[in-house]
Structure 1
Amino acid sequence: MSDVVHVDLGARAYDVHVGRGLLARAGDLIGPHLRLRRVFVLTEDRVAAHHLDAFRAGLGAIEAPALALAPGEGTKGWAGLTQAVEWLLDQRCERGDVVVALGGGVIGDLAGFAAAILRRGVRFVQVPTTLLAQVDSSVGGKTGINTRHGKNLVGAFHQPVLVLADVDLLSTLPARDFRAGYGEVMKYGLLGDAAFFEWLEEHAPNLETDAALGAEAVRRSVAMKADIVRRDETEQGDRALLNLGHTFGHALEAATGYSDRLLHGEGVVIGCALAFDLSARLGLCAQELPGRVRAHLHAMGLPRDLRDIPGDLPDAATLVDLMGQDKKVIDGRLRFILARGIGAAFVTDAVPPDVVRAVLDASA
């Protein structure tokens, strides 16, 4: 059984299937999008070991040559992109073919960008295998790679033609990866749905073991993102709200070298806590709200502050400088997503740098 969330983008509209057993139905779901009975799969080593055989079995008679890249954020760069594109060309992937991204956010972003630039654009399908990818990066068409200047600074908007979010795949995730992905789930409640955050406060500790609760959390997150993307596909307005926690989080990821010291979702949750700290310091929200956010992060076994990140970090001034490379900088002014309350986020560039540094210093 699965639910279907429709991403209404006119000629680029597509469905996101959320539920159990979707990998076994892959051929039936992907088949209508194919001109030839073949797809080209981009994945990574760990995912391939767990899921590639099952995915191929679900495809049935559809051919599925695959390239398994090295795992980790380091793959999402120029070298990984070149490897993926050259392999697709070696395989004679045509403009009418379909590329499949089988993996987490790194593979989804990289494969989507490779599809966007290959032969000036080929179609692709997202089969996200992590919680983070299922609720966030697989939906909305943001694709790209990292550079030495920062995260996701090179990329394109390229919508998939289909997303298959099979929650059964989440059972193979290490506990840390599942919890890190949960950061993107929590973000939806914090930015625009107070009732969802309250639901998460009650049910989130059981998401990892209860597939029905997990599917509901994924469905509600995807539905919220689909609505925002429908209103603002290329992030000219409301879609920027989805970056709650990311301005801080991306700077922390850069500061830790995109390494296992800090997973993307962990950077996001620390960023969310800091965004509420900043909002409270500026008098925008109630003073007790940062504590409520941190209490929930503690209940989920997630980091809450800079001091929870292993190893040394740059000072606050250097972290602010790293934020200056963020995609949300406009006319040299850094935009923050702040909050007037749970579920009441907004975008502003009226944030004094000295207050940002004070928040970072307190967290460290």
Structure 2
Amino acid sequence: MHKQTIQTSTNQYDVYVGPGVLSRMTEYLPDHYHSILVITDSVVYPLYGKALVTELTKSAEVFVSVVPSGEASKSIEQYYQLLTDAIEHQLDRKSLIVALGGGMIGDLAGFAAATYMRGIDFIQVPTTILAHDSSVGGKVAINHPEGKNLIGNFYPPQAVLYDTDTLTSLPASEVRSGYAEVIKHGFIGDASLLDDVLHTDLTQPIEEERLADHLQKGIAIKADIVEADEKEANVRKHLNFGHTLGHAIESELGYGAITHGEAVAIGMQFALLLSEAQSDIDLSSHAFAKWMADNHYPIHVGPLSPERLLQRMKKDKKSENATVQMVLLQEIGHPYVKNIADEQLLGLLEKFIRELDG
């Protein structure tokens, strides 16, 4: 079992990564709670929800809310229903919300916890590779039709309990999605991690030790950044490498059309090409494009309007004065933030989309 502690401005919490965590969940609870609401989705609940409820019932009264799987559930309607569920189950400030699932569930359940009675405890119980990133750092949110994660808060969990046994059930698309965030951490913070991931075949089962090593290194990179800049005033923006265009693609295609990580992978490809053009250096963009192709990342995602993507990028919460901010790389492990003028960005997007279309 691997453990690391993350310090925030309001608390510190432990992140446990290893097999068998779900079967011993009560041992890792950070406090005693008389009632617990487990929030999960329709795919995860049949796989792990019932066993978790049985385990948690040893220490508290347990309720369950199940939302439809998929990014579309990160909505105002599902959020409101979860608050209604919490009220009907008479949760109070001594209650706990457990987010059992991937990044969507973590964001949705965390935002419900952050706003119910002005904030009650919650813990993250990730069941996807992608959630190694989203479960750490305290960002919680829901989507708006005009943009991803525009309604949210900074609200750290009380613990992150990551059972790696749950990752064996992931479909190929979720493996791709999760590894986009793993390789992102390599690009912005660890050249050796980047190199190892570029030599990882996602179409085959990944050795348990290698997967755990990738997850722990990714979490450590994010933890260092979050501790230095919890509220995204400066260096935390570096974690958005690939996300400015990735979020715009997700919004434009409709949430759930492709996974978050698949969209971010395309966004990273664009950011790498832009970085290389800015600095005239080799940032492994060709190796990354080959890795994406070899591992069946969706590249041809249908007709995309550069003008509409630009407008969505300008609505991104990281934009300033309606100017798009892009996270670029000076070299591997050295990201920086640059404002890109509309005219320049539009021309680059038009060229990039033409190349995506083949």
Tell me, yes or no, whether TM beats 0.5: yes
Contact 1:256 1:313 in 2 (8 A): no
Shift of 1:284: 4.5
Q: Which residue of structure 2 lines up, in the alignment, with residue 290 of structure 1?
A: 285
Contact 1:194 1:342 in 2 (8 A): yes
Give, as a single letter, the amino acid of the residue that structure 2 aligns with 1:69.
V
The structure 2 residue matched to 1:279, chosen from 272, 275, 280, is 275
Give, as a single letter, the amino acid of the residue that structure 2 aligns with 1:24.
S
Q: Which residue of structure 2 lines up, in the alignment, with residue 347 of structure 1?
A: 337
Q: Which residue of structure 1 lines up, in the alignment, with residue 354 of structure 2?
A: 361
Task: Indicate how the Cα distance of structure 1 residues 71 and 239 shifts in structure 2: closer, same or farther if over 3 A, else same.
Answer: same
Give, as a single letter, the amino acid of the residue that structure 1 aligns with 2:89.
Q
Shift of 1:204: 5.2
Partners of 1:146 and 1:207 in 2: CA distance: 33
Partners of 1:232 and 1:47 in 2: CA distance: 32
Shift of 1:285: 2.8
Q: Which residue of structure 1 lines up, in the alignment, with residue 17 of structure 2?
A: 18
Q: Which residue of structure 2 lines up, in the alignment, with residue 171 of structure 1?
A: 168
Structure 2 residue runs of 5 or longer lacking an equivalent are none
Partners of 1:281 and 1:289 in 2: CA distance: 13
Structure 1 residue runs of 5 or longer lacking an equivalent are none
Q: Which residue of structure 2 lines up, in the alignment, with residue 214 of structure 1?
A: 211
Partners of 1:356 and 1:241 in 2: CA distance: 21
Give, as a single letter, the amino acid of the residue that structure 1 aligns with 2:355.
A
The structure 2 residue matched to 1:59, chosen from 34, 38, 56, is 56
Shift of 1:177: 1.2
Give, as a single letter, the amino acid of the residue that structure 2 aligns with 1:257.
G
Q: Name the stretch that deviates more: 195-204 or 315-324.
A: 195-204
Q: Are 1:146 and 2:159 counterparts?
A: no
Task: Indicate how the Cα distance of structure 1 residues 54 and 99 shifts in structure 2: closer, same or farther if over 3 A, else same.
Answer: same
Contact 2:304 2:353 in 1 (8 A): no
Partners of 1:183 and 1:50 in 2: CA distance: 24
Contact 2:198 2:288 in 1 (8 A): no
Q: Which residue of structure 2 lines up, in the alignment, with residue 238 of structure 1?
A: 235
Superposed CA offset, 1:16-41 (max 9, x none): 001111101101111x41242x3111
Partners of 1:57 and 1:90 in 2: CA distance: 21
Task: Indicate how the Cα distance of structure 1 residues 21 and 207 shifts in structure 2: closer, same or farther if over 3 A, else same.
Answer: farther
Q: Which residue of structure 2 lines up, in the alignment, with residue 120 of structure 1?
A: 118
The structure 1 residue matched to 2:36, chosen from 39, 54, 70, is 39
Q: Which residue of structure 2 lines up, in the alignment, with residue 110 of structure 1?
A: 108
Partners of 1:127 and 1:273 in 2: CA distance: 30
Shift of 1:257: 0.9
The structure 2 residue matched to 1:78, chosen from 68, 76, 79, is 76
Partner of 1:327: helix, strand, or coil? coil
Matches within 5 A, 1:276-355: 276-286=272-282, 289-303=284-298, 305=299, 308-309=300-301, 312-350=302-340, 352-353=344-345, 354-355=347-348
Task: Indicate how the Cα distance of structure 1 residues 193 and 207 shifts in structure 2: closer, same or farther if over 3 A, else same.
Answer: farther
Partner of 1:71: helix, strand, or coil? coil
Matched-pair identity in %: 34
Give, as a single letter, the amino acid of the residue that structure 2 aligns with 1:314.
L
TM-score by length of 2: 0.94
Q: Which residue of structure 1 lines up, in the alignment, with residue 266 of structure 2?
A: 270
Partners of 1:208 and 1:222 in 2: CA distance: 21
Contact 2:101 2:128 in 1 (8 A): yes
Q: Please report the RMSD computed on the Cα atoms of aligned residues, expressed in angstroms.
A: 1.7
Q: Which residue of structure 2 lines up, in the alignment, with residue 89 of structure 1?
A: 87
Partner of 1:226: helix, strand, or coil? helix
Task: Indicate how the Cα distance of structure 1 residues 10 and 148 shifts in structure 2: closer, same or farther if over 3 A, else same.
Answer: closer
Shift of 1:54: 1.8
Partners of 1:214 and 1:344 in 2: CA distance: 24
Shift of 1:216: 1.1
